Structure 1
Amino acid sequence: MNVSVAVVDAQTPGNVGTIARAMKNFGLSDLKLVDPPELDPDGEAYGYAGQARDDIMPSADVVSFAEIVDNYHTVATTAITNEDATKHVRYPFVTPRELVEELKGIDSDVCLVFGREDVGLSNEELAEVDQICSIPASEDYPVLNLGQAATIVLYELRALTVEETQLPDITDRADQPAIEGLHDQFEGFLAAIDHPEEKRAKAGRLFRRVIGRAHPTGREVRTLRGLFRRVEQKLED
């Protein structure tokens, strides 16, 4: 399954560039433009596109809305989050996160369709697409900027478009004897600064909690021990 992005009648060139950049961020490359504004290679669209100015922007296809509907499983986005079928031409809506699971069962190519900055897609256009996606937002102000909306949707679809990279495991954590040495040195530091004896055990427990959460590296432990050592030496002078 290939995922394309279509922007319908964008009024601001910068938004086209912002969407192209988000596509590059999340592994997409096929940009379709319906009735686009002039996209000057020296203008804001290419300026906002980042590295997408080199490939996605120059290779974008200008197409009609009918071509998109005829050739793709279409998913339109809207800021309207109606709760029943009587308030809008299309119901129900899915969130971007829910959309991921639904698209996993689609065999045809998919096109995400984003509408105009001010009014979005018309009811006639929404009636022609296959699915509607809406981003849950505050009822007081549910309308997102076009570029923001596209970035959120593409981020949620990253499981379909990019290979997830696992965060590296912590492999350079200092060994336990070095960490215990740091705790011993902290006790010596408390004594050197004449911290009240009845409070030292509590301070030691708090320090142990901090170090336990931090997973310090060997270098970090050595640096901390060196600092404590210098303070103790200064106090002895």
Structure 2
Amino acid sequence: MQFDIVLVEPARPENVGAVARAMKTMGFTSLRIVASEAHSQPAAHWVAHGATDILTSAEVFTSLELALADVDLTIATTARSRARFHYCYTPQQLNEQLTERQQWLQRAAVVFGREDSGLTNQELALADLLTGVPMVADYPSLNLGQAVMIYCYQLAQLLPAVPPMVAEPEAGQLQALRQRAVRLLAELDVADDQKLSDWVHQRLGVLEQRDVVMLHRLLHDIEKKLSR
């Protein structure tokens, strides 16, 4: 599984340089930037020190949706509890979730929000999994570089070669299932049930491959029945 580190509107070049350095240290190479040119500033390169190749090869996108267009699994980081989002994993728990998925998903993105305000609820809604770092302090705060280092350190365990597989993973299985589920909710006239839609969206992200395959079969049968 390939990991992309995605930064949404980073403001401080020094933070982006620290991110590049953390990535390089732990073996990650793919950096994506949303709506910012901070990575191109001299201060970012000064702090990166030895990881400037990650900055120069970073991909820039105008929106988070575009940055995630070719990603199979999106993991969004959040420092606050959001009422609509009930399933949030620690970095260690995230590894447990991804261990099975690395055998059948090709690309995953870990998304980090703005230094001052994080990710919006709309941006969090694009994610398959939510994750946060538990902290003891009354006013917890990690700078961007520290947060990326924590996740790169934890996820580096998944970077070694994937065990042999019977077949190559089929790209887009999870995205296709999500799209099918959304269409089915609309056809059943329950798409406006926000609680149900949120539950479906959040739970699809924790499915294992065999569950995804079986749900594809089930939805195919339901679609076939409805079309008659």
TM-score of the pair, normalised by structure 1: 0.62
Cα distance, 1:162 vs. partner? Answer: 5.4
Correspondences of 1:215-226 after superposition (within 5 Å): none
Q: Which residue does 2:83 correspond to in 1?
A: 88
Distance in 1, matches of 2:111 and 2:40, equals 23
Q: Which residue does 1:2 correspond to in 2?
A: 2
Local SS of the residue matching 2:14? helix
Q: Is the 8 A contact 2:35 2:60 kept in 1?
A: yes
Distance in 1, matches of 2:154 and 2:38, equals 30
Q: Which residue does 2:148 correspond to in 1?
A: 150
Q: Which residue does 1:69 correspond to in 2?
A: 68
* Structure showing greater relative contact order (alpha-carbon pairs closer than 8 Å, 6 or more residues apart): 2
Q: Which residue does 2:195 correspond to in 1?
A: none
Q: Is the 8 A contact 1:12 1:37 kept in 2?
A: no
Q: Is the 8 A contact 2:74 2:109 kept in 1?
A: yes
**Which whole-Å deviations, capped at 9, do the CAs of 1:97-122 have from their partners, x for residues lacking one?**
11112112221310110110000000
The verdict on how the C-alpha distance between 1:88 and 1:143 changes in structure 2, with shifts beyond 3 A counting, is: farther
Q: Does 1:116 align with 2:114?
A: yes
The one-letter code of the counterpart of 2:131 is C
Q: Which residue does 2:95 correspond to in 1?
A: 100
Distance in 1, matches of 2:55 and 2:5, equals 12
Distance in 2, matches of 1:110 and 1:29, equals 13
Q: Which residue does 2:46 correspond to in 1?
A: 47
Distance in 1, matches of 2:159 and 2:25, equals 10
Local SS of the residue matching 2:50? helix
The verdict on how the C-alpha distance between 1:11 and 1:29 changes in structure 2, with shifts beyond 3 A counting, is: same
Distance in 1, matches of 2:68 and 2:56, equals 23
Q: What CA RMSD, in Å, does the superposition of the two structures yield over aligned residues?
A: 1.6
- Provide the identity percentage: 38
The one-letter code of the counterpart of 1:98 is Q
Q: Which residue does 2:34 correspond to in 1?
A: 34
Q: Is the 8 A contact 1:68 1:74 kept in 2?
A: no
Distance in 1, matches of 2:10 and 2:66, equals 17
The verdict on how the C-alpha distance between 1:151 and 1:88 changes in structure 2, with shifts beyond 3 A counting, is: same
| Structure 1 unaligned blocks of 5 or more | 164-237
Distance in 2, matches of 1:38 and 1:153, equals 21
The one-letter code of the counterpart of 1:69 is L
Correspondences of 1:124-135 after superposition (within 5 Å): 124-135=122-133
How many equivalent residue pairs?
156
Distance in 2, matches of 1:160 and 1:29, equals 14
Q: Which residue does 2:21 correspond to in 1?
A: 21
TM-score of the pair, normalised by structure 2: 0.64
Local SS of the residue matching 1:3? strand
Distance in 2, matches of 1:68 and 1:52, equals 22
Distance in 2, matches of 1:15 and 1:156, equals 20
Q: Is the 8 A contact 1:26 1:162 kept in 2?
A: no
